[in-house]
């Protein structure tokens, strides 16, 4: 059976034009998707049943037993951590927040290792952005900074920027100029009209220099700034000022560079400065398909987009203190529930070691690195394949993922609601 307008639940592009062929409970073909989509839909190898540690190995357990034990683990803890969330949809994320609140624990999502710095920068200077269709229809200058879309967001350029015609840009390939800024050449820089190579850690200085030039104070800029020549700096600044509509996109190359959120802040302030001359926007290249969704849900419920600590009965937010990597590294939490994410694969070693020492439960369809650190794993349906819910694209546009077939796995929403019910009852 062919299903059209399917939403891909892999990266922040949240493409919704996939055509998928389903046979029974398997996806056998994907059209319009990139290689990441193909892998997501067709390379789907699931854990069959809930498992828990037993002596040196694992034993299968019932969903009921796994749910009860999980609730028990969370209730016993003095400082439970609920992490992940970016790989599931909003309705489930909502229960996560309610659960953390009732437990007096910490809830955090994958922003913590990805665009957390972008959020921190936005909290300092704001976010002059737009939806992706604005870029598609109007932009004549696009700058990718610290991002390699061809690799990490394969259809970004064809759906939204370089190769994508729009209402005002009838021939994007010719009319749209693309600049790539990075510490080394990448596939994306190969197709750019201008490549700016910056010394590692030098982005902040380059952004400050560009701001000064746009302000008209270019006279103070030396011959080279962190590997970039004065000429190139002036050329790029002019290109931006002369644009009818410019769009910055930045990735973890910038968020993870030394200075982290200060780099993003500088890029945002450059965008704001450019707005005095022409139209310019800036957008983060969010990695997970629904990490922005977890930010949105956490924010409207608690006031904060990630790293929220309910230990004191109110919502407290302080990245560096209430963020998962810091909490795990310091050995501060005594139980952890991981939903729709794989911190075992992404977090520093010290964090993984701590996860292995405390009772850790994972709710996830697939066996992954975190499985080996967990005490219990509960497999669930895959959002976008056999369960549906709300996702937020990297630009904030909400799209509902589709349910392609009725599988035999429960939704993670169902599992979380059951855990929540037990915890709420116990807490009175």
Partner 1 sequence: MRVVLKTKQRAKPRIPIEAEEIIPQNFLRRNDVKVFEGNKERSLGDLFFVTSEGPAVSPDQVEVILTGETGVIKRVGEYMNAGRIIIEGDIGMHCGNFMSAGEIIVRGNADAWLGREMRGGHILCEGNAGHYCGAGYRGEKRGMRGGTVEVMGNAGDFTAEYLSGGEVIIHGNCGDLPGVEMRGGKLVIGGDCTRPCGNMTGGTCMVFGEARQFLPTFVRNGTEEVEYKGKRYRMAAFRGDVANRGKGIVLVRED
Partner 2 sequence: MTPGLLVKNAFVIDPLSGIRGEIMDIAIVNGRIVEETPPGAEVIDAAGCLTLPGGIDSHSHVCGTKVNFGRYMSPEDMRAGRTARKGVMRVTSGYSVPTTFGNSYRYCTMGYTTVLEGAMAPLEARHTHEEFTATPHQDMLANTLFDGNWSVMEAVREKDDKRAAAIVAWTLEAVRGFAIKLTNPGGTEAWGWGEDVNSIHDPVQNFEVTPAEIIGTMIRANEILNLPHSVHLHCNNLGVPGNYRTTLDTIDLVPDLNRERQSLYLTHVQFHSYGGSTWRDISSRSEDIARAVNARPQVVMDMGQIMFGRTTTMTADGPMEFKLYLLHHNKWSNHDVELETGSGIIPVYYGRKSLVNCVMWSIGLELALLTKNPWQCLLSTDSPNGAPFVKYPEIIALLMSRKLRENERKMIDRRTEHYVPLFSIDRELDWYEIAVMTRAGQAKALGITHIGKGHLAPGAEADIAIYPIRPDQVDPSVDYQQVMAAFSRTRYTIKRGRVVARDGEVVVEGANSTIWSRVKVPEEYDMGNDPEFTKKFEQYYTVRMRNYPVQDVYLPRGLRIDTEASL
Chain residues in the site for partner 2 (CB under 8 A): 4-5, 7, 16-17, 90, 94, 98, 101-102, 119, 122-134, 136-138, 159-160, 166-168, 244-245, 272, 275-276, 278-279, 281, 295-297, 299-305, 310, 313-317, 390, 392, 396-400
The tokens for 259 are 């200075």
The tokens for 236 are 């790029």
Which C-beta is closer to partner 2: that of 144 or that of 392? 392
Contacting residues for 101 by C-beta, under 8 A, at least 6 apart:
302, 310
Residues 288 and 13: their CA atoms lie apart, in Å, by 9
Would you count residue 420 as binding partner 1 (CB under 8 A)?
Answer: no
Which residue in the set 54, 65, 76, 320 belongs to the binding site for partner 1 (CB under 8 A)? 320
The tokens for 379 are 């497999």
Would you count residue 83 as binding partner 1 (CB under 8 A)?
Answer: no
CB of 87 to partner 1, least distance (A): 26
CB of 65 to partner 2, least distance (A): 30
Would you count residue 331 as binding partner 1 (CB under 8 A)?
Answer: yes
**DSSP SS3 for 72:** helix
Which C-beta is closer to partner 2: that of 263 or that of 390? 390
CB of 359 to partner 2, least distance (A): 25
CB of 155 to partner 1, least distance (A): 34
Q: Which does 228 bind (CB under 5 to 8 A by kind): partner 1, partner 2, none?
A: none
For residues 128 and 280, the answer to whether their CB atoms sit within 8 Å is: yes
CB of 349 to partner 1, least distance (A): 17
CB of 56 to partner 2, least distance (A): 42
Residues 296 and 82: their CA atoms lie apart, in Å, by 17
Which residue in the set 220, 408, 425, 428 belongs to the binding site for partner 1 (CB under 8 A)? 220
Residues 214 and 287: their CA atoms lie apart, in Å, by 30
Contacting residues for 64 by C-beta, under 8 A, at least 6 apart:
none
**DSSP SS3 for 4:** strand
Rg of the chain on CA atoms, in Å: 23
Q: Which does 315 bind (CB under 5 to 8 A by kind): partner 1, partner 2, none?
A: partner 2
Residues 245 and 30: their CA atoms lie apart, in Å, by 34
Closest CA to 385 of 366, 371, 372: 366
How many residues are present in the chain?
A: 428
Q: Which does 181 bind (CB under 5 to 8 A by kind): partner 1, partner 2, none?
A: none
CB of 392 to partner 1, least distance (A): 22
Site for partner 1 in 97-126 (CB under 8 A): 103-105, 120, 123-124
Q: Which does 331 bind (CB under 5 to 8 A by kind): partner 2, partner 1, none?
A: partner 1
CB of 316 to partner 1, least distance (A): 10
Stretch binding partner 1 (CB under 8 A), from 128-136, 155-163, 221-229, 375-383:
221-229
CB burial string 93-108: b at 16+ within 10 A, e below = bbbbbbbbbbbbbbbb
The tokens for 395 are 């630009």
The tokens for 299 are 């924010």
The residue whose two tokens read 């904030």 is 396
Stretch binding partner 1 (CB under 8 A), from 64-72, 88-96, 308-316, 396-404:
308-316
CA dist 369 → 15, 341, 346, 386 (Å): 27, 10, 9, 23
Please give the residue ranges that form the binding site for partner 1 (CB under 8 A).
77-79, 103-105, 120, 123-124, 201-202, 204-205, 207-209, 211-212, 215, 217, 220-222, 225, 258-259, 262, 265-266, 269, 310-312, 317-321, 330-332, 334
């Amino acid at each position: 059976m062919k299903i059209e307008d399917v939403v891909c639940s892999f990266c922040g592009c949240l493409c919704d034009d996939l055509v998928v062929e389903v046979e029974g409970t398997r996806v056998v073909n994907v059209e319009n998707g990139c290689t990441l989509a193909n892998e997501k839909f067709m390379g789907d190898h699931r854990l069959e049943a809930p498992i828990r540690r037993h002596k040196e190995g694992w034993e299968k357990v019932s969903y009921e037993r796994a749910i009860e034990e999980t609730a028990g683990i969370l209730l016993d803890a003095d400082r439970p951590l609920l992490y992940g969330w970016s790989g599931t949809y909003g309705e489930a994320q909502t229960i996560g927040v309610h659960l953390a609140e009732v437990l007096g624990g910490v809830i955090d999502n994958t922003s913590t290792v990805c665009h957390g710095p972008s959020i921190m920068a936005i909290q300092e200077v704001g976010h002059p952005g737009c939806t992706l269709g604005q870029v598609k229809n109007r932009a004549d200058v696009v700058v990718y900074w610290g991002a390699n879309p061809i690799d990490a967001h394969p259809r970004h350029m064809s759906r939204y920027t370089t190769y994508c015609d729009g209402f005002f840009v009838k021939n994007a390939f010719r009319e749209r100029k693309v600049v790539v800024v990075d510490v080394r050449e990448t596939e994306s820089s190969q197709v750019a009209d201008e490549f700016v190579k910056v010394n590692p850690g030098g982005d902040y200085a380059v952004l400050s220099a560009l701001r000064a030039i746009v302000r008209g104070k270019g006279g103070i800029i030396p011959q080279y700034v962190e590997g970039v020549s004065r000429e190139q700096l002036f050329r790029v600044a002019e290109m931006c000022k002369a644009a009818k509509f410019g769009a910055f996109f930045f990735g973890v190359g910038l968020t993870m560079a030394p200075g982290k959120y200060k780099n993003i802040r500088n890029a945002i302030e450059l965008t704001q400065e450019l707005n005095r001359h022409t139209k310019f926007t800036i957008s983060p290249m969010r990695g997970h398909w629904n990490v922005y969704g977890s930010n949105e849900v956490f924010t409207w419920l608690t006031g904060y987009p990630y790293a929220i600590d309910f230990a004191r009965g109110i919502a407290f937010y302080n990245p560096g203190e209430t963020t998962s990597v810091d909490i795990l590294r310091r050995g501060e939490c005594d139980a952890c529930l991981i939903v729709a994410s794989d911190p075992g694969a992404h977090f520093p070693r010290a964090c993984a070691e701590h996860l292995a020492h405390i009772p850790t439960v994972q709710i996830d369809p697939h066996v992954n690195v975190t499985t080996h650190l967990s005490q219990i794993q509960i497999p669930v349906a895959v959002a976008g394949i056999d369960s549906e819910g709300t996702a937020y694209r990297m630009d904030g546009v909400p799209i509902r993922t589709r349910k392609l077939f009725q599988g035999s796995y429960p939704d993670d929403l169902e599992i979380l609601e059951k855990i929540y019910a037990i915890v709420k009852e116990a807490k009175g």
